[in-house]
Structure formats: C-alpha cells, structure tokens
Amino acid sequence: MILNPDTDLVLTRDLAAPRAALWACWTTPDHLRQWFVPKPNLVLRCEIDLRPGGRFNTVFSVDGTEMDNRGVYLEVIPQQKLVFTDTYTEGWTPAPDPFMTAIITLDDLGNGRTRYTAVARHRSPEAAKTHRDMGFHDGWGTVADQLEAYAQGLA
C-alpha cells in the first residue's frame, strides 16, 4: 500500500494476541462494543454486515454525547484486512460530510502475536490535520491497547 504522508495517519503495533481473536473483535458487534472507543466512553450500538457494501454503523457515547457513525465496508479479506469508510452509507448513499477511510491489517507473526496496522486515510491534508490534532495517535493507541487486552481474553 502506498501511503500519502499528507493525508494518511498510521498506527502500527505488535499485539500479544492471535490474529483470529483480533479478527473476531473487529467483526462481532458484541466484541467490538468492549474496546472500540477509549474508556470511559462507550459504544452503545453496533451493526455489522461483513461484506463489501455492507453496513458498519456504530453509535458512541463520548462525554455523555451520542455520536452516530454510519459507513460501509469496501474490502473484507477474512483474518487479514478490513477497509471501511464513512464516505458512503449502506446502499452506496454518499455521506454529506465524510471524514475518513480506515484500512485495518492483521499480519500473523506466530507465537500468538499479530502485527496490527491501522491507517486512517483522509480526503485532504486539512482533514488529516484535524484528526491528528484530535489526538489520533493517543486515541487509536489507547484503543489498540484495549483491543489487545480484550482479545487476550478470547484467545
């Protein structure tokens, strides 16, 4: 994958959890609700239709405010890769104010370890800067830690 340093934010971690458990965490609503936003924030609802064009909708509670996020999967390679975006919603309906496309890859390192890479791809350098200034690396890093801890409990 070719990255654009002006529009792509990247987080890579080697997690002490098997790829199958991490995949389950990303693709099962009950699991995703446990780790997907930095605590003490919550995922209130999650809908997953795991196929290209299928919905990936979440509702967060952040500091008591509900945030509705609607999107679709663009690519699904079981156990390896998920690509989803808020540029469209189910039925390929264009979103009025899209923010990013996420590319999640899981590379098996053996011995129950997985290289986890999350790319947040933005439509402009300004959108990427906004996400960086919102605390992309700290927030997504915290979420990666929560994912690792939760996945270890599934393994």
Asked whether the predicted pLDDT for residue 136 surpasses 90, the reply is yes
Burial class of residue 151 in the structure, from the number of CB atoms within 10 Å of its CB (0-12 exposed, 13-18 middle, 19+ buried): buried
Q: How confident is the model at residue 4 (pLDDT cuts 50, 70, 90)?
A: very high
Residue type at position 51:
R
User: What does the pLDDT read at residue 155?
Assistant: 75
- Output the six-digit token pair for 14: 């080697």
Single out the residue of 28, 4, 14 nearest to residue 117, CA to CA.
14
The whole-number pLDDT of residue 141 equals 96
Spell out the residues 6+ positions from residue 84 whose beta carbon is closer than 8 angstroms to its own.
56, 71, 72, 73, 74, 101, 102
Sorted by where each starts, the structural domains of the chain and their CATH numbers stand as 13-154 (3.30.530.20)
Report the greatest alpha carbon distance in the chain. 44
Q: Is 63 left (phi over 0), alpha (psi -120 to 50) or beta?
A: left
For residue range 67-125, list pLDDT tens digits in order: 999 999 999 999 999 999 999 998 899 998 899 999 999 999 999 999 999 999 999 99
Q: Is residue 51 scored above 90 in pLDDT? A: yes
For residue 97, report the phi and psi dihedrals to the nearest 5 degrees. Answer: -145, 75
User: Above 90 in pLDDT, residue 42?
Assistant: yes
pLDDT classification of 11: cutoffs 50, 70, 90: very high
pLDDT at residue 1 above 90?
no
| Pair of tokens at residue 17 | 């959890």
